[in-house]
A and B are shown apart, each in its own frame.
Chain A
């Protein structure tokens, strides 16, 4: 799997936007960019994913660079409940012969602290 690089930690204030960066300079053309987060004492949860175009959902937005070598997860208004470790993960498009089980390779992620 292609490697991703994220800052170890970031800090934000409540109700302010947060931009979490991820570098993936070795991304291949078929790799999707996934973001998961892990709240304290919980398992990881899916946040958002994308391929080339920017994506929005109820949790966040994903901005993907034109060359796809980096992406940014955007939380528009951080809340205290958004304090978590955020993981940026690359996954290729699953195929019917895929034997990897669609497993996710988690790095160390970015620890986001939200200050009240």
Chain B
């Protein structure tokens, strides 16, 4: 089974609809992230969470909200979807380490969202 799962994998919706993308992880990591990927723009961070009580905005949080329901679950919501939110969305997790100086992130398979 995958360590980081995302549901749904594909979603087509209409402008103005509320959409929730869900992410679950079995790695036991405290940190979770939501990114979006657009052609020519790479991956951009939307929100990140250090633990259940700690939520932080990333570089492009406008139009999005998140909920960290448990250590293993981190959901991304689009309250009123618009066409320029059409993108590939990735959830990621990481384990905070000082030793070794690196923090590997583990990504889910992505959700392809289309807003018409």
A residues touching B (Cβ–Cβ < 8 Å)? 32, 34, 36, 41-46, 49, 51, 87, 91, 93-96, 99, 101-109
Contacts and interface: CB of A to CB of B under 8 A. Distances in A.
B105 interface: yes
A41 B56 CA distance: 28
A41 B90 CA distance: 11
B29 to A, nearest CB: 11
A51 B108 CA distance: 27
A50 B98 CA distance: 14
Q: Which one of A41, A87, A101 has the greatest number of beta carbons of chain B within 10 Å? A: A101
A94 B42 CA distance: 23
A32 B98 contact: no
A102 B109 contact: no
Interface string B53-73: 000101000000000000000
B42 A102 contact: no
A19 B39 CA distance: 24
**Interface size bracket, B side:** 20 to 34
- For the complex, would chain B's binding face be called helix, strand, loop or mixed by DSSP majority? strand
A46 B42 contact: no
Contacts of B97: 94
The 7 A-B pairs at the shortest CB distance, nearest first, are namely A43-B107, A106-B43, A101-B48, A102-B103, A106-B42, A93-B101, A46-B104
Given A101-B31, A101-B50, A102-B96, A43 B108 contact: yes
A103 B58 contact: yes
- For the complex, would chain A's binding face be called helix, strand, loop or mixed by DSSP majority? loop
Given A102-B105, A105-B45, 4 more contacts: A43-B4, A43-B90, A46-B105, A101-B49
Given A101-B31, A102-B96, A103-B48, A44 B107 contact: yes
Interface string B68-109: 000000000000000000000010101011100111111111
Contacts of A94: 96-98, 101, 103
A44 B101 contact: no
